[in-house]
Amino acid sequence: MFLYNFYLVTWFVFFESLLLAVLSLISLLISIAYFTLAERKFIASVQRRCGPNVVGFWGLLQPLADGLKLVLKEIIIPNSSNQGLFIIAPLLTLILSFSGWVVIPNSFDSYIIDLTLSLMFILLISALGVYGILFAGWASNSKYAVLGGLRSISQMISYEVSISLIILPIILMSGSLNLIDIVYVQFKSVWFILPLLPLGIIFLISILAETNRTPFDLPEAEAELVAGYNVEYSSIIFAMFFLGEYSNILLMSSLFVIL
């Protein structure tokens, strides 16, 4: 009877975590889609343009149309490329970018996985993400892709050091590497952004550079590299890079809020 109850509880917890993971993935994909729409609308307003406004009311169905277009397009793999790594690179980038979300808590009692070292896990995932970009640039066998990959790798590695050093005072103040514990300490005392405001500003600048956003978009410089490491990619494998990039942006934004 005891074993039966144990297995029953184990399966219940497993299916609960699986359901939460699926719902989180769906929410993340929807968030990425409309985050890109919001960015395009903002850029259009800055440049005095309309932005997406044709597909759906106020262009709200534009992300769905773009996603459908990328799925239906032909996958083109250059003959001179290393085809195995060429396909593995976007898959690796996408899987790693989504993996970081499993330790992000929605509340004190709502999370997929509660790791004791969840903050270290996110830093590890961020460091491994470099390999997807490295594989993409090298496997494309294009000088533009190689240069874009090298630029992106050097920039990511550089700012990962500053991000790690900035997180150290938060670890010392909270006494934990668990994100839920870090939130709980701030809930009981004070938000860390108040005593550590200068570090918060530096952290914000560092995550902008880590995710290759303006004005740190040197790896994707369109003037000379025509998009950087993903220049040879098309169709769904380009969409994987796109999803991975914006997933990392939202992940770093969530980490900034938590810390």
Work out the number of other CB atoms within 10 angstroms of the CB of residue 60.
13
pLDDT tens, residue by residue, 197-227: 999 999 998 888 888 777 777 766 666 666 7
Q: Give the pLDDT score at 13.
A: 62
Q: Give yes or no for a contact between 148 and 231, defined as CB atoms under 8 angstroms apart.
A: yes
The 10s digit of each residue's pLDDT in 155-175 is 888 888 888 899 999 989 888
CA-to-CA dists, residue 58 to 36, 43, 51, 61, 65, angstroms: 14, 15, 9, 8, 14
Q: Check residue 201 and give its pLDDT.
A: 92
Residues of the chain with pLDDT under 50: none
Burial class (CB in 10 A: 0-12, 13-18, 19+), 79: exposed
As a whole number of angstroms, the distance between CA 256 and CA 207 comes to: 9
Overall residue count recorded for the chain in this entry: 259
pLDDT at 9: 61
Could you give the C-alpha distances from 87 to 66, 126, 137, 140, in angstroms and in order?
A: 21, 20, 12, 10
For the chain, the structural domain boundaries read 1-72, 78-258
CB of 199 closer than 8 Å to CB of 121: no
At residue 203, φ and ψ (nearest 5 deg) are -65, -40
3-state secondary structure 195-229: CCHHHHHHHHHHHHHHCCCCCCCHHHCHHHHCCHH
Q: Can you tell me the distance from the alpha carbon of 132 to that of 123, in angstroms, rounded to the nearest whole number? A: 15
Q: What does the pLDDT read at residue 5?
A: 59
